[in-house]
Structure 1
Amino acid sequence: MIRSFLTEQWRKLLIPIAAIAVLSSVLFFPREQADITSEERGLTLFETIEEPAEEMEPPAEILAEVAVLPILVDVKGAVKHPGLYSLTEGDRLHDAVEKAGGYRDDADTRLLNHAQKLLDESVVYVPVAGEEPPVFEQPSTTAAGGGDSDSALININTANETEFQQLPGIGPSKATAIVKYREANGAFSQLDGLKEVSGIGDKTFEKLEALITL
């Protein structure tokens, strides 16, 4: 009688415990399995993602071609083959003369600056011995647009021969003469000091005065 009572009591305790265990296995174990599967699947996808290919740099030859800009130069005077010649930005006056076949026997090259860098639309004039070369309008290196008006003035104490040729009435020979005078005598102390340079008189200076500075 007592044994039967105890057995019945144990049965009542075990059934709920078994039910809880079954319910727990249904609720928790599939979720854990799903989480593991998701993690594994995520890892697999991560491992299969390809890294983006490194951006290929263009060959150095192509970069060099892009960096070099063509210019057109008009070579005149005492050269063997006067005419228009295509050069590249950074070429010198000497390169333009070589393109034109070199100097004629009667060329006067004393006042030419063979190291002068050329700009697009430049004119290279080689005078005959004893000739005063004509003045040609040369391309300006001053950037277009607004800004301080002083920035457009040519500083006669720092300008090079190419910059001097932007001024009216100043060709290659006079530009060279100004630079040589400055090198021999030092910086100009006043604007009209330019009149001390051979070939620059009062009329020429009147055209220059509003365009130059110290």
Structure 2
Amino acid sequence: MIKKYKKQLYIVLLLAVVVLFLFNQERNYSEQMFLNESTTSNDAIVTEKEEIGEKTASTIFVDVKGEVVHQGVYEVKETDRVKDVISLAGGFTKDADQTKVNLAAKVHDEMVIYVPKVGEAADGAAIANTAKDDGKVNVNTATVEELQQLHGIGPAKAEAIIAYREEHGPFQKIEDLLNVTGIGVKSLEKIKDQVVVR
């Protein structure tokens, strides 16, 4: 009788050991899967951060001239504004006509920021950009006054062009002007030979 119980007890213990072993195996597998997923997820986050970091960290060069404390070429982030570059250049001199400079404008590579003196004629160069390019108007840097020199572009359309590029960044091609409110195919046809995108 005792032998019978012992045999049953051994079978129960053996089954318990097997169940515990299988349970531990399943738990270890689950933990390993979780760790693998976490590692993959973390790697993806790190990669994404690196990509964002690279994009954010990309630099451009801007030439600052005129009435600033330190004229020169500055290396800045592509997300910077004119006000940031002016600060790097030591700020305005006492003779600077700050009303002629759009401090909120986004900077772009090879941009020239020119700060005129008070009373200096705003002839197209006396603004925060050099807008004339081989006799054509650079729509990425032109002022409202310069844009109005284009055939069929009045104050409203000129303001719309500037508002668009400040919100969306520089125009990549002339056809991008079609995205500006008030400029259609006919308007573009009239001005496409007078403008340049750089």
The structure whose Rg is larger is 1
Q: TM-score, length-normalised on structure 1?
A: 0.46
